[in-house]
Amino acid sequence: MTEAAPSYALTRPAYVGGSHLVVTDLPLVSRFYQDMLGLKVIEKTASGEVLGVAGHPLLTLTTDRAATRAPTTAAGLFHTAFLMPSRVELARWLRHAAQNNVVLEGASDHIVSEAIYLSDPEGNGIEIYADRPHEQWTFHDDGTVEMATLRLDLQKLYESAPQDHWDGMAEGSAIGHIHLQVGDVAEANAFYRDVLGMKVMAARYPGATFLATGGYHHHLGANTWNSRGAGVRSEHMTGLSDYTLRFNDKAALDKAAAALEKHEIKTEKRDGGISLRDPWGIGLNLIA
C-alpha cells in the first residue's frame, strides 16, 4: 500500500509544524484531545504530554503551578486548525463528534475549505477542516485567493461519512494553520509579512489578515476581533505558549533569519532552529 501524498499545506516553503498550549488541568485537556479529537499520546514528561498522529507530534500540553487563565481579550490563540487529509476523514470525525455529544460552535464553507469549530475544556479554540483540491481554488490577479464564510451543510457532511469504526485522527492529519489573536493587524503584517516573508493571501476580512507561504490559503491567521489593542502576554498565562514554523526550504529559513537579524529582533538558537517571540510575546520556533 502506497503512502498518501502529504496535504498541499505541508508541501509549501514553510508550514505549521506544531502548537504548544499551557493548561491548568492537564489530565482533563489531554483526555479531550485524545477522546474527542483522536490524538494519541506520543510522549509524557513530568509537566506535560506530547500528542500527535501516527507518531508525528502535533500538540504539546504543559501545565504550570503558577499558570493563570488568560482573559478572552488577551493576545494569543484564536484556534489551532487540524487539517484532515480528506473530506471523508472530516465527515468521519463529524460522525464521531455527533455520537459523543461534542459541542460544536460553528461550521463554515470557506470555498477553499470546509471547517468545523469548537473549543477544548479550557476555552482554547479548535478548527477541524478539510481543504478542497488546490486546483479548484480561485486566485486573483494580485495572488490572493478567493475565500468567504458561507453556511456549511453539516447534515450532508455527516451523511457522507462511512459507517465504520473510528480509531482516531487518520494518518496524514496535521496542523494546517494557526490563528492568532493580536493587538493590531497592521503590526501583524509588518512582522509576519515584512520580516518573516509570508504573503497576505486574504485581506478582505475586517480586523483580520491571512498569510501563507507558497500560495496556500493561509498558514497563519491574525485577528483583533476580541483583542484589539492587546499588549504583550503576561508570563505564566494559559493558552498558546509557542508554535513551530517548519521550513521545507533551508534557504527560506536562512532568509528569515537574516531578516530577523536586520530588524534587530532577539532570537535564540535552539534544537537546530531559531526561537523568538512575536510582537505580543507569543513564542515562535523556526526550524528546517
1 lies in some domain: no
pLDDT of residue 250: 87
Transcribe 57-97 into DSSP letters.
EEEEEEE-TT-BPPPTTSSEEEEEEEEPSSHHHHHHHHHHH
For residue range 169-204, what is the model confidence (pLDDT) as tens digits? 999 999 999 999 999 999 999 999 999 999 999 877
Percentage, residues of the chain above pLDDT 70: 99
Average pLDDT on 211-215 reads 96
**Does residue 128 form part of some domain?**
yes
Residue 80: partners with Cβ closer than 8 Å, 6 or more residues away: 19, 21, 59, 124, 125, 126, 127, 175, 178, 179
Residue 135, domain extent: 6-285
For residue range 110-142, list pLDDT tens digits in order: 999 999 999 999 999 999 999 999 999 999 999
Q: Answer whether residue 73 is part of any domain.
A: yes
Is residue 166 domain-resident? yes
What pLDDT sits at residue 47?
A: 86
b/e 257-283 (16+ beta carbons within 10 angstroms → b) = beebeeeeeebeeeeebbbbbbbbbbe
Into how many domains does the chain fold?
A: 1
Instruction: Provide the CATH number for the domain around residue 46.
Output: 3.10.180.10
Q: Is residue 154 part of a domain?
A: yes
Mean pLDDT of the chain: 95
Quickly state the pLDDT bin for 1 (edges 50, 70, 90): very low
Which is more confident, 160 or 165? 160
